[in-house]
């Protein structure tokens, strides 16, 4: 299956046959989160998209090394720490955990390695030493270290810009910079901020430097695929390339970028409110359904978010899930997943998930016909092929990761709370108020909040 995978490369702006550097192996570096707030669905889309890539490469026979970093030191983290009045590292750990939980709920496989920036300061200092030694970077003496953009042979090819067209950075202060477009590899320590010692003074790393150093540490000088969201192309990825190529490294062979989740046509941002945070949305849909929704668009297509579209995706998913369950009932077992040729062909075309889903819909149509006709061998084939497809998409309802949230946890909980409420109503009817109160208190102790309204009793989890 591996022979014909084609991928779009942002650097060449073309779809081309994927050729790994080493036969049978693929190294992928994906820019991970800056952990300074709970993830919203825009943040986790790249996790889902690149997880599908990883699963497809693995299913195609490749041994995949998948690196996704954690940016745990950054201006935004320091601001948040000041705002929440807790240490910067506590902010980073709190939100790193929130991301880990969101990825898990969405069945995004844990990366092979998940390096934190602050754990790789040594490698960053080594890279700066190399860049200063070969004249690509300079330390002006104030504790900062800058990359000299005029020294670069090629720069801005990924974003297709020219250096001359580049606006000067907002701080066009040339006290220390040789050129306003030079960017900081390292930032001198400010009083009270965390810092690490270097030969040029204490400070902390710039975001771009972190990714160059970590990608190199885990994947070597040249590796297969570097990924991230579209918004990272400039300046982040351009600057990663500038640093790494100046170090003499080949760096990434292929650049892949996922499109955004938009709201009213705009890139989803924190300011759009908390309602689109992953843990909020997971109160109304299951993780497997949110994953299905996020993964069902082509990774290079914008997804305009709406609750109606999410609901529609959930309904579509439940139909497929329903078919698999009916098939399992009549067959007496769940068939193992297999990859159909139609699905494989679609995925090999730059991960054309929408086409792959059309293939799944057609398999399900045939499967339903076979169910009605009692044609069990055909039911088995359809169920196996659908399961194979759902596995790649990370949405197999029989995947143990979904076992606890499978077949609507909420329905079960709803039933149990309703039962308890019936018992409370019965106790009240017979004027046994002590028993009624005891039931209410026990429910409350479990974290379920009961609210008596004119429309009846409602409950929620506190």
382 near Zn ion, judged by CB under 5 A: no
Min. distance of Cβ 71 from Zn ion in angstroms? 7
Whole-angstrom Cα distance, residue 243 to residue 236? 11
Beta strands in 99-221 (DSSP E): 137-138, 145-147, 183-188, 203-205
Q: How far is the CB of 271 from Zn ion (least distance, A)?
A: 23
In angstroms, what is the minimal distance from the CB of 196 to Zn ion?
A: 19
The answer to whether 320 and 386 are in contact (CB under 8 A) is: yes
Residue 376: which residues within 8 A CB-CB, separation 6 or more?
Answer: 330, 331, 370
User: Of the ranges 74-82, 131-139, 211-219, 266-274, which one interacts with Zn ion (CB under 5 A)?
Assistant: 211-219
CB of 367 to Zn ion, least distance (A): 43
How many residues of this chain interact with Zn ion, rule: CB under 5 A?
2
Nearest CB to Zn ion, comparing residues 211 and 313 = 211
Cβ contacts of 287 within 8 Å, gap of 6 or more: 105, 106, 107, 402, 405
- Cβ distance to Zn ion smaller for residue 49 or 296: 49
Interaction between residue 211 and Zn ion (CB under 5 A): yes
Hey, CA dihedral for 317, 319, 324, 328, is it positive or negative? positive
| Count of C-beta atoms within a 10 Å radius of residue 449 | 11
Nearer CB in complex with Zn ion: 213/386: 213
Task: Select 233 or 327, whichever has its Cβ closest to Zn ion.
Answer: 233
If binding is defined by CB under 5 A, does position 209 make contact with Zn ion? no
What DSSP string runs through 33-44? -B-SS--BHHHH
Q: Are 461 and 448 in contact (CB under 8 A)?
A: yes
CB of 234 to Zn ion, least distance (A): 12
Cα separation values, 410 from 80, 307, 413, 416, Å: 34, 18, 5, 10
Closer by beta carbon to Zn ion, 31 or else 285: 31
Measured from the CB atom, the residue of 206 and 388 that comes closer to Zn ion is: 206
> Looking at 138-146, 208-216, 292-300, 341-349, which segment touches Zn ion (CB under 5 A)?
208-216
Shortest gap between Cβ of 31 and Zn ion (angstroms)? 3
* Residue 450 in tokens: 């009961």
Beta bridge partners of 257: 228
Choose between 230 and 331: whose C-beta lies nearer to Zn ion.
Answer: 230
Could you say whether residue 31 binds Zn ion (CB under 5 A)? yes
Residues near Zn ion (CB under 5 A) are: 31, 211
């Amino acid at each position: 299956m591996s022979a014909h995978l084609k991928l779009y490369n942002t650097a060449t702006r073309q779809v081309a046959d994927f050729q790994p550097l080493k036969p049978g192996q693929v190294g992928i570096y994906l820019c991970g989160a800056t952990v300074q707030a709970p993830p919203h669905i825009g943040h986790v889309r790249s996790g889902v998209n690149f997880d599908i890539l990883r699963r497809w490469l693995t299913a195609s026979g490749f041994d995949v090394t998948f690196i996704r970093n954690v940016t745990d030191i950054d201006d935004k983290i320091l601001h948040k720490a000041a705002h929440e009045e807790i240490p910067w590292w506590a902010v980073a750990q709190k939100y790193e955990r929130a991301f880990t939980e969101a990825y898990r709920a969405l069945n995004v496989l844990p990366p092979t390695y998940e390096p934190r920036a602050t754990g790789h300061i040594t490698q960053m200092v080594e890279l700066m030493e190399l860049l200063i030694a070969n004249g690509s970077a300079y330390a002006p003496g104030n504790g900062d270290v800058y990359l000299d953009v005029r020294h670069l042979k090629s720069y801005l090819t990924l974003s297709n810009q020219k250096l001359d067209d580049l606006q000067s950075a907002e701080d066009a202060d040339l006290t220390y910079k040789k050129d306003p477009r030079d960017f900081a590899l390292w930032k001198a320590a400010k009083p009270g901020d965390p810092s690490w010692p270097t030969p040029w003074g204490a400070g902390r790393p710039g975001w771009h430097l972190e990714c160059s150093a970590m990608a190199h540490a885990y994947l070597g000088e040249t590796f297969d695929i570097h990924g991230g969201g579209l918004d990272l192309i400039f300046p982040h990825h351009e600057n990663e390339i500038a640093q790494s190529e100046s170090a003499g490294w080949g760096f990434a062979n292929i650049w892949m970028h996922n499109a955004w989740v938009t709201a009213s046509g705009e890139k989803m941002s924190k300011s759009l409110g908390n309602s689109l945070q992953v843990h909020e949305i997971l109160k109304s849909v299951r993780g497997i359904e949110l994953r299905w929704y996020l993964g069902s668009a082509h990774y290079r297509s914008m997804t305009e978010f709406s609750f109606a579209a999410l609901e529609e995706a959930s309904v579509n998913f439940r139909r497929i899930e329903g078919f698999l369950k009916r098939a399992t009932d009549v067959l007496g077992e769940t068939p193992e997943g297999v990859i159909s040729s139609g699905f494989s062909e679609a995925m090999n075309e730059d991960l054309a998930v929408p086409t792959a889903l059309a293939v799944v819909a057609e398999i399900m149509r045939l499967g339903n016909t076979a169910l009605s006709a009692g044609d069990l061998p055909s039911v088995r084939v359809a169920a196996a092929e659908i399961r194979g497809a759902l596995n790649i998409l990370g949405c197999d309802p029989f995947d143990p990761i979904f076992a606890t949230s499978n077949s609507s946890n909420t329905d079960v909980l709803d039933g149990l709370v309703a039962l308890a409420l019936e018992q409370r109503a019965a106790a009240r009817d017979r004027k046994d108020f002590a028993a009624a109160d005891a039931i209410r208190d026990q429910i409350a102790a479990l974290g379920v909040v009961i609210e008596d309204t004119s429309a009846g009793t409602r409950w929620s989890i506190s």
